[in-house]
Structure 1
Amino acid sequence: MPSTNFCQDEACPPYSLMDDYSEGAHPQILEALLRTNSTQQVSYGGDDYSNTARQLIREKINCTEDEAEIFFVPSGTSANLISIASCLRPYEAVITLETGHIACKEAGAIEATGHKLILVPPVDGKMTTTNLQKAMQQNQFFPHMAKPRLLYISNASETGTVYTKRELSNLSALCKQLNLLLLVDGARIGTALCSKKNDMTLHDIFEYSDIFWIGGTKAGALMGEAIVVKKQLAEGFVFHLKQHGALLAKGRIMGVQFVELFRDDLFFTLAGHANAMAEKISANFEKLGHELAAETATNQVFVTLPMDLVQRLQDRFRFYIWEQLDDGRVMVRLVTSWATDEMQVDKFNAWVAQWTAASKEFAT
């Protein structure tokens, strides 16, 4: 990935490792939007580009139009909210991890649709069959409790870990046994599938879930997520898009972007770059003796650091302080993206190494 940061002096603003959407869009996507800009198209997602994008995505998934419908929405929150609202009755609930995005980062959007969230503790950032079974057993006092009907998980997880094929297969089998639907949040599904820990394909995720979505916003698009809905749940789905303000008149904008992401392997190439930059940061921390708070499997690095080092780094880099620890240290999260400049990663690693060496020398 060529360098895109041309500011080299100390007056530069701090380089962001806060998230994977600080940049705009990959140049190939911008060029495609400009190239197709003047063509007249059918509105509300019925355009040629959206239809082509749907076909390309189905080819990557290895499914047919008779098996799944694909809908484009502008954001991850809309993808989760609409997917859940479309298939639950008012008295039905969602089982999710305490760290789940819908529980922590979506301002009560799911609860605002009238659906209770049943919170479960994570194990390595993920749902387990044991914890799912326990949650079901604890929520059976009907009709006095909301009825569990859907399991929500994210791949990659909120701590960057990934589900194995066996883990997802076991969750899927248990969901069928318990009469639960399974929704997979795919905001970072690209980095999950490109992880060295991954042993799944898009087809596996399609096979084991009832609804999942493919995140474009965090994968080099300006905006947009593609919701993949199995045919038996797809009837009337478009009405939910309209009611929730997600059926865009200029749906072509998302169609063009997903054509570029999936026409070749751009989606996976960009995700692979994000993972490689995170791995480089993580390996440097481990080499220098800093404690990783979670395994770095995708493009998120969680590490425990002394506050002095954090303050030093914050002069030159932006990142998220995830948790204040009792011993005065902090856990931080660093997120790399499709556009992360490797030169900036090298600078970050050099600052960490310099501070660590100086602190060890002072201690002796």
Structure 2
Amino acid sequence: MMINFRNDYNDIAHEAILDLLLEVKDQSNIGYGEDVITDKAKQLLQTHFDHKIYTSFMVGGTITNKTVISHLLKPYEAVISASTGHIDVHETGAIEQTGHKIITIDSVDGKINASDVKRTLEQFQDFHRVIPKMIYLSNATETGLIYNKSELIELYEVAKQNDLILFIDGARLGVALTSKESDLTLNEISLYSDIFYIGGTKNGAMLGEAIITKHEAMHNNLTYSIKQNGGLLAKGFILGIQFQALFTNNLFFEIASKANQNANLLVEGLKQLRIDFKPTPTNQQFLRLKKSIVDSLKKNYQFEIWADHDAEQTIRLVTTYRRNEVEIQSFLRDLSKLI
């Protein structure tokens, strides 16, 4: 069997989620998230915050981004994103399909900063252009990097000074918060943003993302937008089960920590092999290798080809809680024979 480093959503779900599914399999529930399981999940999430939050559950990342952005922006308002942002490069024009322009900021490392936003705002000053209304960022980013507290506070301050909404894509929020370089808590993510979501799909869940906002006005009528975008699951309690399990006994953070620990094992092994690469603090690592080496590795390992460079290719290796030291050492051993 091939060892899978392709992504962090290649298994059905963590066994604790499967156990809870079996535990409640004979239970009859109200639909559309109006059930006791979903209520329990929301209560568990609330315990991680020192302020009132409003929670909605959705099935996946793209529909979450599309729904949040279209719900909060008027047709002539736009969203600012890094040029590498998921909404710009990996969502099949979902944001544009709802009529919203994405204003991209060139980014080498996948991050944007307060100065980037200020410079961008200066270019949009009259009614011949769209109004920048939202800042979109991912934590962790598409490049595996994370935002620290000071960076996030600076972005949030710029947002407040310019009447912008700060929206955080948290598809990989778990690995961001449990990274050894992180100085942010889940509570602080809410404090220094307007709306964000906690990704379950890439962190052990069968499916599911939890949209969270501290603003009641942003939450009001969000269910209508979710329904209109085809995101309101009739069997909403299935989403509730995911997050009830994930936020019981801190399983969400345990899963993410394990993914990062496996990434650290991979990074240390690559350093010992003297591979020239820039490690990230999360579970995505990027290596530039000769195509002949990549072709050989493909025989036993799954991974994404991130970029082509003539005779070389950049590959992405993603670790999860399901990978183990034996599998990682196997990859390192095979790579060592090829370099």
Fold-level similarity (TM above 0.5)? yes
Is residue 310 of structure 2 the alignment partner of residue 322 of structure 1?
A: no
SS at match of 1:127: coil
Q: Which residue of 2 aligns with 1:22?
A: 10
Is residue 195 of structure 2 the alignment partner of residue 191 of structure 1?
A: no
Is residue 307 of structure 2 the alignment partner of residue 337 of structure 1?
A: no
Match among 119, 122, 128 for residue 107 of structure 2? 122
Separation (CA, whole Å) in 2 of partners of 1:58 and 1:211: 15
Separation (CA, whole Å) in 1 of partners of 2:100 and 2:335: 45
- For these two proteins, the number of residue pairs brought into alignment is 338
Q: Which residue of 2 aligns with 1:52?
A: 40
TM-score normalised by length of structure 1:
0.91
Match among 287, 296, 299 for residue 312 of structure 1? 296
Is residue 73 of structure 2 the alignment partner of residue 88 of structure 1?
A: yes
SS at match of 1:291: coil
Q: Which residue of 2 aligns with 1:207?
A: 191
SS at match of 1:323: strand
Structure 1 residue 109: deviation in Å? 0.3
Structure 1 residue 123: deviation in Å? 4.7
Separation (CA, whole Å) in 2 of partners of 1:320 and 1:235: 39
Larger radius of gyration: 1
CA RMSD in angstroms comes to 1.1
Q: Which residue of 2 aligns with 1:238?
A: 223
Q: Percent identity?
A: 40
Separation (CA, whole Å) in 2 of partners of 1:284 and 1:306: 19
Is residue 277 of structure 2 the alignment partner of residue 289 of structure 1?
A: no
What 5-or-longer segments of structure 1 have no aligned partner?
A: 1-11, 357-364
Query: For residue 343 of structure 1, what is the amino acid of its counterpart?
Result: V
Separation (CA, whole Å) in 2 of partners of 1:287 and 1:91: 52
Q: Which residue of 2 aligns with 1:264?
A: 249
Do the aligned residues in 2 keep the contact of 1:290 with 1:305 (CA within 8 Å)?
Answer: no
Structure 1 residue 43: deviation in Å? 1.2
Separation (CA, whole Å) in 2 of partners of 1:110 and 1:137: 23
SS at match of 2:202: helix
SS at match of 1:242: helix
Query: For residue 23 of structure 1, what is the amino acid of its counterpart?
Result: D
Do the aligned residues in 2 keep the contact of 1:32 with 1:256 (CA within 8 Å)?
Answer: yes
Q: Which residue of 1 aligns with 2:122?
A: 137
Q: Deviations over 1:71-108 (max 9, x none)?
A: 00001011111111111111000000100000000000
Q: Which residue of 2 aligns with 1:3?
A: none
Structure 1 residue 48: deviation in Å? 0.6
Separation (CA, whole Å) in 1 of partners of 2:202 and 2:323: 12
Query: For residue 287 of structure 2, what is the amino acid of its counterpart?
Result: V
SS at match of 1:45: coil
Indicate how the Cα distance of structure 1 residues 123 and 173 shifts in structure 2: closer, same or farther if over 3 A, else same.
Answer: farther
Q: Which residue of 1 aligns with 2:163?
A: 179
SS at match of 1:159: coil
Structure 1 residue 124: deviation in Å? 2.6
Structure 1 residue 23: deviation in Å? 0.8
Is residue 318 of structure 2 the alignment partner of residue 352 of structure 1?
A: no
Is residue 44 of structure 2 the alignment partner of residue 62 of structure 1?
A: no
Structure 1 residue 232: deviation in Å? 2.6
Structure 1 residue 289: deviation in Å? 1.6
Do the aligned residues in 1 keep the contact of 2:265 with 2:325 (CA within 8 Å)?
Answer: no
Is residue 96 of structure 2 the alignment partner of residue 111 of structure 1?
A: yes
Query: For residue 187 of structure 2, what is the amino acid of its counterpart?
Result: H
SS at match of 1:176: helix
Structure 1 residue 307: deviation in Å? 1.9
Q: Deviations over 1:244-299 (max 9, x none)?
A: 1111111000101101100111111110111111121122222212121x432100
SS at match of 2:212: strand
Query: For residue 8 of structure 2, what is the amino acid of its counterpart?
Result: D
TM-score normalised by length of structure 2:
0.97
Is residue 23 of structure 2 the alignment partner of residue 35 of structure 1?
A: yes
Do the aligned residues in 2 keep the contact of 1:82 with 1:244 (CA within 8 Å)?
Answer: yes
Query: For residue 34 of structure 1, what is the amino acid of its counterpart?
Result: L
Separation (CA, whole Å) in 1 of partners of 2:230 and 2:183: 36
Structure 1 residue 41: deviation in Å? 1.6
Do the aligned residues in 2 keep the contact of 1:274 with 1:338 (CA within 8 Å)?
Answer: yes
Separation (CA, whole Å) in 1 of partners of 2:110 and 2:180: 17
